[in-house]
Structure 1
């Protein structure tokens, strides 16, 4: 008969995480340290659950987790270090809370929900070999992930661990992301593939013979992009860049090269009455090889199940294990009220026309969607985004009312859909408009936690940091967002924010190219010319700076007021004065 201890034995992957320098942090500020530890432990717990792990001990500043898969354990560790590292950037260096992580695969004893034995102890000892923010794994884990994960591993050799009888071969896993792609490379027309499976979803073609049905094909496309972007280890091109290929002849090889992706998803829709036909095909961009193709004839009521089926086929074709592990996370509840979704799809179409009249039309449709289905988050999300855009572009006829409505809608969206990055983006972009920049930054962080391919989340994070006076920390998120949406029609926003970030950091040469591009794309916006004038002045190109300042004056009848409002968003008075000083050097006569 096996003993009780033998019955409790099993193989497990154990992750041990511990805060580096925790005693020093506590001695300097106990309350702030405990508050930050609690927040970081919540983030860790969420990522553990997403990767199918189980926290079995969380004592003090340590976290112990059990996984059934070494691949998932390492993925989780990398996700933890990236999420916490992104947040630590916004803290003073001495207040940053950095974890060391060790991972081991070994025999453990289970007792009362806890785990014991050398399998656990080795994981705990491995993390002591780390530098803060690093991940150290045993050879038993390394053997399981070779050929399955793309993270670089460095062999540390045989290590003698405290109270462990035999030496353990250890490896350091590199958790840092790929360096951001420079602007010049983004504009080269040919982008390198990222370090994880990459895909672009082309706008589905409306085959209904009725241009009025374009909204349906566009809405289905955007929903598929949103669902695929929730797969943490996919790189998914953002909606705005994908839609630059609408009604444009381009080969899949050209699309793959211009967007820097391995796969392209194409398709079409034909909607009539209560029936819909959808075709979809996944193509390997470099070779043009069709990985799979399918035609679906369904009742309209089955649309959301159909979307899930297409997403499953894409994920399963690209990386089957990812499908098994993450598919439940990207699911959403099918609505009972299809009228609301019809209204939302129509509203999205009007929203993306980006004119005051179309935004007003979109807003009315989103309001009707909320009335039709008050428990669906998307109606509130889009209403919040719509009002934020109306306020940001100065199209509002009732700023106070639009602000109150947009804020309440965004909050309701996040309440109804806590795991939807777009809901948190709505909260964040409304927070920017309202000057609540710390709230905006937290919403941006949460949206990226949920979807690392969420381009809008990176733009929001960059904007929040820029306006808070952290220009140097704003550069990277702008660059990462632009890589996810390299052909975005709204790139002028990203580019002129990036230009200001370089300018305020003293990197005038780096500021020039994005400033030139932004001003060329939107010469009617005073803020795009402002960035250009500032960097030209500091580069000593006085005549060009004066010409740009004069053009800024000519192109906007409300330039003084609009530019003053924009510059007032920078909370650091020294940075506001830095911008004013450069403008005055170029002959700008603003009185704000």
Structure 2
């Protein structure tokens, strides 16, 4: 719209605005009803029921219709309980089918945002557990000033009204673009941002994947901005259906601004509203509504990301510059696949569901590059967590990633995936580092890309560079700078005292994440605390649904603790399992090494070499489970054949 501005002078705009207001006046009559002209005050706020406005010290506060209706219901009965059932009847007709509890919770959360109130220390809205809400503040009803203008109700020709409204909106937009844009000095202060989970306002829980997908897509796109840190998906998704105020979220996440919005899908179109809000002042810096065919939603997402970047004057290079469109079937399948990857990337059930949806997306659109990238990622994760053999995972992963990059070489996550394949399967260290760094270059604010490079550099023994990547992660997203990122460094240094320290911190932060317990156990075992190590290994085995790495680590712990029978029991079970599912031969080798059966250990190490096990390059140099065979010339020969530094 910027190109319209030079064609209008102030006098032009004034004349057009006066004319179209007159047109609207001819099509309008005053509103009527008992609420017309009513003012309600409490604290620093004022409700104008005639204009349907909430004002803070005279300044209008943006509030959607449902939260506004909740507010009206509460202030009508101050200091009294208003039940959830009463609010349900007030907000939704009897024949409406909607997740009422979730809808009311969101409405109350948005209302608290507007009032800068909290559930923990309420000033205005008190939650009465399992019953409803009570409005705490004194309420004052004030008679409206004489001569106050009521909201007009339009009448007459609908097309005349629509035309007058459209031109009026256009004129006001020109005024805004020319004179009302935010102060560039204020916007220049935005150096960190959180994209909060978008709200699905369709009332259909089956459409949650769309809201989550839009959130994820915007985070991915905006992560390409230079000079602005964008928090990762992991940091923000805990605020879905949040019960805390925007100001509190901003303080917790330590960001300068937040982006929030809603999604509504209807037939073949999707409507997305987006708001940019200052964390410092709570001011709405910018808002926009987008509506487009669902088939063009990727281009729509790109436009939203460009607009947000423009509002904060950020340098923005779009990574998905081609293949902007796909059909609705393909994109819906792709978003569902992404949702399963994020729901549980270390469990086989969710990864296979993700794989299924990515394959559906490719079938619906064979030229949709992100679907190939997602499919390759699902194969890599299935291989990394040993739910699929290297032989079954590598070929389809390699083919999918090559196709993705052929269609669009600018997808950062595809280069990160290629880096993993080059490192862990091809044993090609130089290519791996090049791809990892290119992934970070294409998506400079992508925490996942920097974490992948961190673990690779830690494995290479380049501690200073790995620590620099961790510092970069802390700059991008303080909430994702977990102590666990340092675990890879201390693991490969065999610095078990420091590994215990970061392991204990990681378990305190994420007690339900098996990898934290795993590294803490390794730290304990390396420090000679076998009883504590075995306890942590047991937790890791249970939480990981029997991943063979912590299982083998537990067996090794039993072996070196002198509990040979317990170690052999685990070994027997794994070898029986290997007849029906993939079990990494490297992990079996580590148990035999712990049992001091060297020939059997090397037999399974050779099997791992023959299948190009992804475990070999990562573990071989530093794994304490191999200490009892580390001086054997056969291990040195394996290093030589793999072309790995010893």
Q: What TM-score results when the alignment is normalised by the length of structure 1? A: 0.57
Conserved 8 A contact 2:296-2:325: no
The structure 1 residue matched to 2:436, chosen from 438, 441, 444, is 444
Residue aligning to 2:383? 391
**Alignment match, 1:455:** 447
Aligned residues: 378
Mapped partners of 1:360, 1:403: distance in 2: 16
What's the counterpart of residue 298 of structure 1?
A: 292
Q: In the TM superposition, what is the alpha-carbon distance from 1:436 to its structure 2 partner? A: 3.1
* Mapped contact 2:484–2:503 kept (Cα < 8 A): yes
Deviations 1:92-113 (A, max 9, x none): xxxxxxxxxxxxxxxxxxxxxx
State the 1:579 CA deviation. Answer: 8.4
Matches within 5 A, 1:146-295: 197-295=191-289
1:413 aligns with 2:401: no
Alignment of 1:499 onto 2:487: yes
Contact 2:525–2:533, Cα closer than 8 Å, also in 1: no
Alignment pair present for 1:352 and 2:342: yes
- Relative distance call for 1:537 and 1:353 in structure 2 (3 A) is closer
2:562 corresponds to: none
Shift in alpha-carbon separation, 1:537–1:367, aligned structure 2, 3 A = closer
* Partners of 2:223 and 2:446 within 8 A in 1: yes
- Closer, same or farther in 2 for the Cα pair 1:366/1:555, shift >3 Å? closer
1:480 maps to: 472
Does the C-alpha gap of structure 1 residues 401 and 555 become closer, same or farther in structure 2, counting only changes over 3 Å? closer
1:575 aligns with 622
Could you tell me how far 1:283 is from its partner in structure 2?
Answer: 0.5
Residues 201, 264 of structure 1: 8 Å contact kept: yes
Paired residue for 1:314?
308
Match of 1:375 in 2: 367
d(CA) in 2 for partners of 1:214, 1:561:
39
Alpha-carbon shift at residue 211 of structure 1 (Å): 0.8
Residues 68-87 of structure 1 deviation map (CA, whole Å, 9 limit, x = unaligned): xxxxxxxxxxxxxxxxxxxx
Q: Is the 8 A contact 1:382 1:426 kept in 2?
A: no
2:416 equivalent in structure 1: 425
Q: What does residue 547 of structure 1 align with?
A: 532
**Greater Cα shift, 551-560 or 419-428:** 551-560
8 Å CA contact retained: 2:514, 2:539: no
What aligned pairs does 1:67-216 form with structure 2 within 5 A after superposition? 197-216=191-210
The answer to whether 1:341 aligns with 2:335 is no
Q: For residues 332 and 228 of structure 1, do their structure 2 counterparts lie closer, same or farther at Cα, with a shift above 3 Å needed?
A: farther
SS in 2 for 1:282: strand
1:210 CA displacement: 0.8
CA distance in 1: counterparts of 2:351 and 2:619, whole angstroms:
32
- CA–CA distance in 2 between the matches of 1:400 and 1:574? 23
Could you give the per-residue CA deviations for residues 32-56 of structure 1, whole angstroms, max 9, x where no partner exists? xxxxxxxxxxxxxxxxxxxxxxxxx
Structure 2 Cα separation of the partners of residues 454 and 528 of structure 1: 22
CA distance in 1, matches of 2:522, 2:320: 44
Segment drifting more, 276-285 vs 238-247: 238-247
Shift of 1:452: 1.4
Against the structure 1 CA distance between its residues 465 and 375, is the aligned structure 2 distance closer, same or farther, given a 3 Å change threshold?
same
Contact 1:196-1:235 at 8 Å conserved across structures = no
| CA distance 1:510–1:249, shift in 2 (3 Å) | farther
Structure 2, unmatched stretches of 5+, are 1-183, 557-585, 591-614, 629-646
Question: Who wins on radius of gyration, i.e. which is larger?
Answer: 2
How far the C-alpha of 1:468 sits from its partner, in A, is 3.1
Is this contact kept in 1: 2:459–2:489, CA < 8 A? no
Q: Secondary structure at the match of 2:277?
A: strand
Contact 2:297 2:325 in 1 (8 A): no
